[in-house]
Every structure is written in structure tokens, then in C-alpha cells.
A and B are shown apart, each in its own frame.
Chain A
């Protein structure tokens, strides 16, 4: 693949600490915290009350409206409370707290031979919706909504996103190595649901083992050059198909649908086995945990449980990050639970972080060279510091994908990404969208 998107950076990947370790299944925790908002859209409506007994896979909250998602219990146990609890993204969120009864018996799902021809698109989307699947790469957009584009937009190509361009993370890589058939079947099911004639699985070239295994699984594998943010939808589509998704538009405008590897596996399990999304693979990494690795974790497991499972800390963490180091969200404590969209939890010591003070822009142009959207972050930054949101918009601030490449590159260590996010937030409030 010689073609690639404009800009981008090459942060140290730090994948080695976890990517060679097989996925380990973590036993169900004593208590799970299940925020009603784990997805983009309206929070789910609880359909259980404190005292109710639930089993693994029991639906406990249902989608409230079109852009929303169902929620299921990941353990056998009793609903303890429905109350505000720590949330890794929004700080606090109404959550269903379930205490496990300790039986921990996993529900067994019988494999069914896949016959895609027998599945109707409606049935597939219905099964996905029922299972409460959301985009598992981090954005957590309800998948059944993404699979229902406007009538007039035909999707011809599905890209399964296996680029996993964030440093440290390797959960998708492990899934591709360990469950290549499931990834492929999930991809075929999604293709069928949207009527896509082409299905491409795209993997960055720093994962040769995954590429090898996936090639044996017999599908169209496209190898991408390793460059951050290769996994961003617009950049991925540019590299794979050389198509430009228009500014402000979604991939279906160019007839493309992008789905993450983990989502494809979840779709397969939901459609074929009826298994709801109540567990996922999470990369635990960073220079602080004793045993980094990829864990199959019940949604709602508090981070502190995972820390003890991984043997505790060997270094004092300065930062705990949900997601990757480029776009992830820093946490203030270890009470927060794993969400459907949590691809990794990183524990980084002071050493692993460069925390220099913000300086002054020397107009080196580095941020412009690396911006994958062709923006001028420094100009937007200074427009915002002068409270000129209109000027920031003239510089197309709203096209920012918040990948963090500009801040990463900036020799003056300016918080360029943070400032542009702020401008987008102001815009959102003003436009009332």
C-alpha cells in the first residue's frame, strides 16, 4: 500500500507488553457498575428494580429511542441499586449496580453453522439491536443505527477496521489472531445487513501475525502503513479506497461503512448465538501494572478489580487512561467501570508521560504538517485564546477529529487538541445541536 492519508504521526507503539499474550477470561467481579449511558445517544431505560434477581445476559435496561442501546447483566446476581456512580467519560451517571451471587457460571452458547443466505438484513439488525451492540473501537455509537443509513445512501463497501493505530492497545490484534473466523463471519453478516458487495479487512503493517492469520481466514485483507491516526474512519477510507468523505459528512456519503474488529465479533456472537454484549476484550497496559495483557472482561467491572487481577502496581501510576494515549480519557480514580466502548485501560507512570509546561508557538508548522484533516491547529488555537470562535470556524475547527496528532507533535507542548475540542463544544452549544 503506497497511498496514505495526509499528515499523521508516529508515536512509539508500546504494543509489545501485551500483544503477545493470549486473551484471558477474568472471573466475574463481586460487583458490577452498569452506567445507563455507555453509548452515544439517549441513556437506556432501566427495566429492573433493586432486589430483582438477574442472570448473565438478562436485559436490564432498554433503548430509549432510536439512537440508544439495550443493556444486559454480565453476571448472575441481584440488583442492589440504581444510583449515580462514577463514569469514565461523563464523571457521574445513573447506573445499575448488580451484586454477583458468585456462581459465575458462564452461559453456554451452542455454535450454529452459519448460513448467511438464510439471514435477512432486518433480522440481523434486529438481533444486533437486541444485543445492545455499540461501536467497540471507542466511539460507542449504537451499531444497529450505523447499519441503517438513510434510504438514498447505498453502501457498497464494508471496511472492518483492524488498524488499531493507538499505541499500547492490542485487543483487536488478539481477536484477529485468536478468532479470525469470527471476525470474518461478523464481517459477512454486516455486509449482508447493509447490502455491501465488497468487504475489506484493513490491518496496519505492524501486526504481521494478525495479517498472516487473517489471510488464512480467506478474505480480502488490505495491509495499511503504520501511521497514526490510520484507524480514524475518514483516514482509513482515504487509504483503503482513496475516497474523501466530505467535510461534515459520514462515510455512507461515499458508500462506505466502517466497523471495528471487536464489533464484528460481537455482531457474529449476537446474530448466531443471541449473545448480548456484556463482555469485551480490554487491553491492560502501561509501565505500572505487574502483568499487562488482554483480558475478556465483564462490562461494568471496576478498574480496581482489574488492577488486582493483573497483579497490582509495580510503579506508581501518574495517569490512568481509558482508551489509548492519543485520544483516551484520563481518570481521577479506580472506581470507574469498564464500558462497552472501553478498548484499553492504561496505567502510566510519570516517566512514561512527558509533562512539560506549555510554551509559545514558534510557528514551526509541525501541527499543520501532521494534521490528518488538513487544518492549521496553531491558527485555531490562537483564534480561541483570543475568544474569536468565528475565526476558529473559518479555519474549519469543526472538521477536527480530535486525534491529538497536533498536540503530540507541538514542540511548545501547546494543548492544541484541547483548545479545538473546546471550540467545537462552544459551537455545539451555540447551534443547539
Chain B
């Protein structure tokens, strides 16, 4: 008989979710933090963001063309990498550095591993780490919010504590830290904007609470317990608001590709990130430890995955 229909294996219906939809939702959720950054630090940060995204997209397309693979820039993943790299850079960073950083992120950290879904390290953070090692001077040159008087010396709140402990922590109010009235990287300063984007992703189910909440909680508790002059005297609110913790916890420690698959694994991941961040901040040479913590935990992800497999139905853990 003539009738011919499509014959494929079940299931014959699929959910409406797609990789593209997830990626572009993350881009959308990142917008408030970028807009806030541009408002706080001025136009220059917009150039940084634009350069980073453009360089990331071009690098991805070029490499895919050179290696004769389908060009997949429309999936939005390169845009996310570009955005996140820019968000992790100081507003005054030279554009050539941004371009090199984005190239490194996509070419080395993502494509050499096989592209989307295969990379071990968060590409944006790898790019940032590369720039930090290569040009530390530019990476620690901070600008103040554009509406501050010129007389205030520029540094991030966390850097101020590490490098000049005498200055009082509370030269920043918690409210300043929350809305982003402080120095720092473009996308990390406005906690309010970050939380707005994160709330959207949590609502859509594109990120889970497990990693960010554990991460922030761990940093808070450790700082409260051991981060102050005496036991249980640390300023934990300052610790979770002042650095890149919020951006890192909600947007980079939740990157699907480079973090554990299961809820159990994600809790371990968040805990590990939290401990490492606290250790780096307290005893390390850098005032900030979020990027390196997440990168280190990225490396641990395959092991975490192996030890956090879900419980198989009908199989008893021990004995039998």
C-alpha cells in the first residue's frame, strides 16, 4: 500500500524545551546585571560587553567554519560566554584584552574540548583567569561608580579589606552593596539586578537552587564563624554582598555543562565552592576567590558526578 508515515521510535511527543530556549533565557536573565553595570560605570562598560560578545561569536563561528562543523552561534551559548566574561572584567579594561579573553574562552576553553556540552571549565571564567594571569595590572584597576567624586580611591570593597585592613568595612552600607554603589566588575556589583535575573531562571527551572544557596550559605556561615576578629564575629552580610559571589553562585556555578548533574552533586558542588571561596579570601593572595573556586570545582565535577548518582529504583544501597 502506498501510505507512508514517519516511523521513529517512541516517544512521539516531546516537551517544548530546547537548548536554544534555555540559553537565550539565560541571556535574558543576565541583562539586568549588565544594564545596572552600564548605568553605574558608564558607557565604557557597554563597549566591554559588546566587544566580548562579538569576539566570542566570531571566534566560535570561525573555528566551526575552519573545522567544517555546523555553525551553531544561534544557540546562544557563545553569547552567554561573551556576556559572562565581560561581567567579570573591570569596567576600564582595554578592549584588546577583552577580545583576547573572549578568544581564549571560546577557542581554548570551549572548542578544543569539543564545543558545547563538552568543555570541562566554565569558558568565561577560564577566559577571566587567563587575563588575570597575563595582565594582572589591568585586571585589578578598578573604576568607581561614575557619580562618585574623584577624590575616593578606587578599589573593590573586598580588596580594601585585604590590602588596607585599617579602613573600616562599613564605609559601604549594605544597601550600597546591594544596589551596586561600589567598585567592582561590570556585572557583579548590582546584587539586586543579579537576583532579579536569577529569580526568573529559578522560576523557569533553568537553574536549580541547590548550588547557589549552598554556596552562598557556606560562604556566609564560614565568614560569620571564622572571618571576623573573634569567633562568630565575621561580617557575613558583607561577605556575600561585596564580591562576585552572587553573580558566580547564580550564573556560573549553575552552568549546566560544567557542574554536576544531580541535586546531590550540586549540593556538594556548592559546598566545595563555598569552602574554597572562603579559604582564598581569608588566606589567599587574592581578595576575591569566586572564579577560582568555581574553576576548581569544575575540575572536580566528573568525580562528584560519579559519587552522586541517583538511587536506582529497586536496588538497595548496601548488602544484597
A interface residues with partner B (beta carbon < 8 Å)? 5-6, 9, 11-12, 167, 234, 238, 244-249, 317-321, 323, 325-335, 346, 348, 352-356, 359-366, 368-369, 371-376, 378, 395-396, 399, 402, 404-405, 407-413, 415, 417-418, 421
User: Closest residue of chain A to B16, judged by CB?
Assistant: A354
Cβ of B303 < 8 Å from any Cβ of A?
Answer: no
User: Closest residue of chain A to B265, judged by CB?
Assistant: A365
Find chain B residues with CB under 8 A from A359 CB.
Answer: 18-19
Across the interface, B8 reaches (CB within 8 A) one of A12, A245, A330, A363, namely A330
Contacting pair A363 B310 (CB below 8 A): no
Distance of A325 from chain B, by nearest CB (Å): 4
Cβ of B179 < 8 Å from any Cβ of A?
Answer: no
Contacting pair A245 B116 (CB below 8 A): no
Find chain A residues with CB under 8 A from B310 CB.
Answer: 6, 368, 371, 374-376
Distance of B319 from chain A, by nearest CB (Å): 12
Across the interface, A364 reaches (CB within 8 A) one of B9, B10, B22, namely B22
Find chain B residues with CB under 8 A from A421 CB.
Answer: 9
Across the interface, A399 reaches (CB within 8 A) one of B21, B256, B312, namely B312
Contacting pair A418 B9 (CB below 8 A): yes
Contacting pair A363 B314 (CB below 8 A): no
Contacting pair B12 A362 (CB below 8 A): no
Contacting pair A372 B313 (CB below 8 A): yes
A-B contacts, 6 listed (Cβ < 8 Å): A238-B313, A330-B10, A363-B256, A408-B15, A411-B19, A412-B117
User: Closest residue of chain B to A409, judged by CB?
Assistant: B15
Contacting pair B313 A374 (CB below 8 A): yes
Interface size class of B (residues with CB under 8 A): 35 or more
Across the interface, B13 reaches (CB within 8 A) one of A333, A335, A408, A410, namely A408
Across the interface, A376 reaches (CB within 8 A) one of B1, B256, B261, B263, namely B261
B interface residues with partner A (beta carbon < 8 Å)? 1-19, 21-22, 115-118, 256-257, 259, 261-263, 309-316
Give the complex CA separation of A41 and B16 in angstroms: 38
- Beyond the given pairs A333-B4, A412-B18, 20 more chain A to chain B contacts, judged by CB atoms under 8 angstroms and listed by A's residue number, are A244-B314, A323-B10, A330-B6, A333-B1, A354-B13, A354-B14, A363-B117, A363-B257, A365-B256, A368-B261, A372-B313, A378-B261, A399-B312, A402-B10, A407-B10, A407-B14, A411-B17, A417-B10, A418-B8, A418-B9
Find chain A residues with CB under 8 A from B311 CB.
Answer: 374
Give the complex CA separation of A330 and B311 in angstroms: 32
Find chain A residues with CB under 8 A from B12 CB.
Answer: 319, 321, 325-326, 328, 330, 346, 348, 353
User: Closest residue of chain A to B266, judged by CB?
Assistant: A365
Find chain B residues with CB under 8 A from A417 CB.
Answer: 9-11
Give the complex CA separation of A355 and B8 in angstroms: 10
User: Closest residue of chain B to A316, judged by CB?
Assistant: B5
Across the interface, B11 reaches (CB within 8 A) one of A364, A395, A407, namely A407
Interface of A: prevailing SS: loop
Across the interface, B18 reaches (CB within 8 A) one of A321, A346, A356, A374, namely A356
With A11-B13, A353-B12 as given contacts, are A362 and B313 in contact (CB-CB < 8 Å)?
no
Rank and list the top 3 A-B pairs by shortest CB-CB distance, nearest first: A404-B11, A247-B314, A418-B9
Find chain B residues with CB under 8 A from A331 CB.
Answer: 5, 7
Distance of A337 from chain B, by nearest CB (Å): 13
With A319-B5, A332-B5, A333-B3 as given contacts, are A249 and B314 in contact (CB-CB < 8 Å)?
yes
User: Closest residue of chain A to B115, judged by CB?
Assistant: A360
User: Closest residue of chain A to B18, judged by CB?
Assistant: A411
With A333-B5, A361-B117, A365-B256 as given contacts, are A326 and B314 in contact (CB-CB < 8 Å)?
no
Give the complex CA separation of A412 and B18 in angstroms: 6
Find chain B residues with CB under 8 A from A320 CB.
Answer: 5
Find chain A residues with CB under 8 A from B5 CB.
Answer: 317-320, 330-333
Contacting pair A411 B21 (CB below 8 A): yes
Q: Among the interface residues A12, A321, A331, A364, which one has the most CB atoms of the partner chain B within 10 A? A: A364
Contacting pair B6 A362 (CB below 8 A): no
User: Closest residue of chain B to A323, judged by CB?
Assistant: B10
Distance of B76 from chain A, by nearest CB (Å): 11
With A332-B4, A362-B19, A365-B262 as given contacts, are A373 and B312 in contact (CB-CB < 8 Å)?
yes
Find chain B residues with CB under 8 A from A376 CB.
Answer: 261-262, 309-310
Find chain A residues with CB under 8 A from B8 CB.
Answer: 330, 415, 418
Across the interface, B6 reaches (CB within 8 A) one of A6, A248, A318, A410, namely A318
Contacting pair B261 A360 (CB below 8 A): no
Find chain A residues with CB under 8 A from B1 CB.
Answer: 333-335
User: Closest residue of chain B to A14, judged by CB?
Assistant: B13
Give the complex CA separation of A244 and B311 in angstroms: 12
Find chain B residues with CB under 8 A from A404 CB.
Answer: 10-11
Q: Among the interface residues B9, B17, B312, which one has the most CB atoms of the partner chain A within 10 A? A: B9
Give the complex CA separation of A142 and B9 in angstroms: 25
User: Closest residue of chain A to B21, judged by CB?
Assistant: A411
User: Closest residue of chain A to B309, judged by CB?
Assistant: A376
Contacting pair A246 B314 (CB below 8 A): yes
Contacting pair B3 A411 (CB below 8 A): no
Find chain A residues with CB under 8 A from B10 CB.
Answer: 323, 325-330, 402, 404, 407, 417-418
Find chain A residues with CB under 8 A from B259 CB.
Answer: 363
User: Closest residue of chain A to B4, judged by CB?
Assistant: A332
Give the complex CA separation of A356 and B17 in angstroms: 11
Give the complex CA separation of A248 and B320 in angstroms: 13
Give the complex CA separation of A352 and B15 in angstroms: 11
Across the interface, A247 reaches (CB within 8 A) one of B17, B261, B312, namely B312
Find chain B residues with CB under 8 A from A326 CB.
Answer: 10-13
User: Closest residue of chain A to B208, judged by CB?
Assistant: A365
Contacting pair B313 A234 (CB below 8 A): yes
Find chain B residues with CB under 8 A from A318 CB.
Answer: 5-6
Distance of B240 from chain A, by nearest CB (Å): 26
Find chain B residues with CB under 8 A from A360 CB.
Answer: 19, 115-118
Distance of A224 from chain B, by nearest CB (Å): 17
Contacting pair B9 A356 (CB below 8 A): no
Distance of B223 from chain A, by nearest CB (Å): 30
Contacting pair A6 B11 (CB below 8 A): no
